[in-house]
């Protein structure tokens, strides 16, 4: 949901709606899918994304000392390919 909900500024709403459009257009195995978006009965913008089962990357990388180099490289490769896919479509990830 949009932080600020129905009290968000018009600029915040526009940025939220633009992000929904951008994410919905990205199709890549390492980028979550945006399924649907809308506005609640109370006027709060929202979107629903694919749920990905697993540990947060920060916890996974905390155990990285135990991982073989090839596994570490694989993680970086997946992230880099997803970012490249987004960049090719004019998207720059800000988080």
Active site residues: 95
Q: What is the largest CA-CA distance in the chain?
A: 50
Nearest to 30 by CA among 85, 72, 69: 85
Residue at token pair 């479509």? 89
> What does the alpha-carbon distance between residue 49 and residue 37 come to, in Å, rounded to a whole number?
9
State the first-to-last Cα distance of the chain, in angstroms, to the nearest integer. 16
User: Which helix H or strand E contains 48, and what residues bound it?
Assistant: strand 45-49
């Amino acid at each position: 949901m949009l932080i600020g909900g129905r009290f968000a500024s018009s600029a915040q709403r526009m940025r939220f709606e633009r992000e929904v459009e951008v994410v919905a257009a990205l199709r890549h195995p390492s980028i979550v899918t945006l399924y649907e978006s809308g506005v609640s009965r109370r006027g709060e913008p929202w979107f629903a994304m694919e749920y990905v089962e697993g540990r947060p990357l920060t916890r996974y990388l905390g155990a990285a000392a135990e991982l073989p180099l090839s596994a570490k490289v694989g993680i970086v490769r997946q992230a880099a390919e997803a970012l490249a896919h987004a960049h090719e479509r004019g998207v720059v990830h800000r988080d």
